[in-house]
Structure 1
Amino acid sequence: MPKIQGRTLTEHRARVRRQVFEAFAELVADRPYDQVTLAEIASAAGVSRTAIYNHFPDKESIVLAFAADETDRYLEELDDALDGVEDPVAGLRIYVEHHLRMRQSLHFGLGPALYGVLSADSMVEIRKHVRLVERAVRALLHQGMAAGVFQVEDVDTTIALIHATLQVGPAVEADAAASFVLRAVGVR
């Protein structure tokens, strides 16, 4: 009988999932996703190769659970950062700064590496997480447009351009990126 890590089975499962996510992130940081095996993930997570199947049936299910976990964490922290903020300019600045800060602890860059190796169904699931993040910035843009402080002709294109801007390297400071994004939506 495997040893339970935690006081309850629920706590054990959460701990194992966290260990698997951390191992997965470390392994795909070193080499491409398609070169990482489920056995390597299990070993790096400190769980047996057979025990990992109690939590994840395959490597794609790890990716999907990992993406859901990262999206949930991102949105929870964004909601906290935006709590009580009514000014759309301040909100968009917070969004940009939050995105850049979270990029250091989350794995936003993993998406493009998965495009050719995940099944079509899994890519649809990954895209759902992207849309959740887009929904947050979409709400801020609409709020600013309604208040007359943002000039946006095409919201979808603006969101894509904002996120492209946020893919900059660490040399660009959050304040400079926020100022650039705000100028792009007509804030001078």
Structure 2
Amino acid sequence: MPRISAATVPEHRHQVHRRIFDAFADLMAQESYDAITMARIAERAGLGRTAIYHHFPDKAAVVVGFASAETEAYVAELEERLASTPDPVLRMRYYIRHQLEAGHTFHMGLGVQLVGRLPDSSRRAIRAHVTAVEDVLRRILAEGVESGTMTVPDPDTALALVHACLTPRDLPSEQVESFVLRALGCP
């Protein structure tokens, strides 16, 4: 029986998963998804060649697990940041800044090219994680409309347009923030 490197089995499993996700992220930063194998992820994570399969059945499952862990951390950090103010306009400013700042890390390589190579079940699982981030924005938009500080005739369209504005990472953050707030009719 393998030794665990933590006080509890769940903690050990979490640590191993984190090592696998870090290894996957490192490899994705260096090469294409197709060039990465489970054996290479295991090696980079410091696991035996077959030990990784005790945690994930295949590379697509690693991607889904990675996306899940990253999304949970991202949303938790975002929610913590938003909890400091009830003002919807300030909450929107925080949301925009967080997306622009933390998005560089969070959106690592999980673009259309990668997600398009995954099985349908994996794509649906990743979409569920994207929905968690969208739900935060949807809530801020609803609060803005309710308080009268935002004009949002169609929340779904506004959500898509706000996220489209936050996609380019090379634009000045202040200008993106100003543009989005004006588009939402914020004072």
The reply to whether TM is greater than 0.5 is yes
What is the Cα deviation at residue 118 of structure 1? 0.5
Question: d(CA) in 1 for partners of 2:165 and 2:117?
Answer: 26
Aligned to 1:119: 119
Please name the residue that 1:136 is paired with.
Answer: 136
Please provide the CA RMSD for this pair: 1.6
CA distance in 2, matches of 1:5, 1:172: 44
Q: Which residue of 2 aligns with 1:93?
A: 93
- Inter-partner Cα distance in structure 1 for 2:2 and 2:94: 45
Which residue matches 1:180? 179
- Measure how far apart 1:173 and its partner are: 3.6
Describe how 1:5-154 pairs up with structure 2 within 5 A: 5-154=5-154
Contact 2:162 2:180 in 1 (8 A): yes
Question: Structure 1 length as normaliser, TM-score?
Answer: 0.92
Amino acid corresponding to residue 181 of structure 2 in structure 1: L
Aligned partner of residue 48 in structure 1, secondary structure: coil
Whether the 8 Å CA contact 1:34–1:117 is kept in 2: the answer is no
The equivalent residue for 1:166 is 166
Q: Does the 8 A contact of 2:28 with 2:109 survive in 1?
A: no
Alpha-carbon separation, structure 2, partners of 1:68 and 1:56: 13
Q: What whole-Å deviation, never above 9, does each CA across 1:7-44 have from its counterpart, x for those lacking one?
A: 33222211111110011011112222122111111111
- Measured in 1, the distance between the counterparts of 2:148 and 2:159 equals 18
- Counterpart amino acid of residue 63 in structure 2: V
CA distance in 2, matches of 1:7, 1:88: 42
Query: 2 CA distance for matches of 1:134 and 1:148?
Result: 21
Q: In terms of mean alpha carbon deviation, does 92-101 or 106-115 score higher? A: 106-115
Q: 2:101, 2:183 → 1: CA distance?
A: 21
Provide TM-score, normalisation by structure 2: 0.92
Q: 142-151 vs 103-112, which deviates more?
A: 103-112
Q: In 2, Cα distance between the equivalents of 1:106 and 1:174?
A: 17
> For residue 72 of structure 1, what is the amino acid of its counterpart?
E
CA shift digits 1:47-81 (9 cap, x unpaired) = 11111111111111111111110110011011110
CA distance in 2: counterparts of 1:104 and 1:96, whole angstroms = 13
- Measure how far apart 1:108 and its partner are: 4.8
Structure 1, 177-186 or 137-146: larger mean CA deviation = 177-186
- State the aligned residue count: 187
Q: How far apart, CA to CA, are the structure 2 residues paired with 1:98 and 1:154?
A: 23
Give how far 1:166 is off: 1.1
Q: 1:127 to 1:159 in 2, by over 3 A?
A: same
Q: Which amino acid aligns with 2:32?
A: P
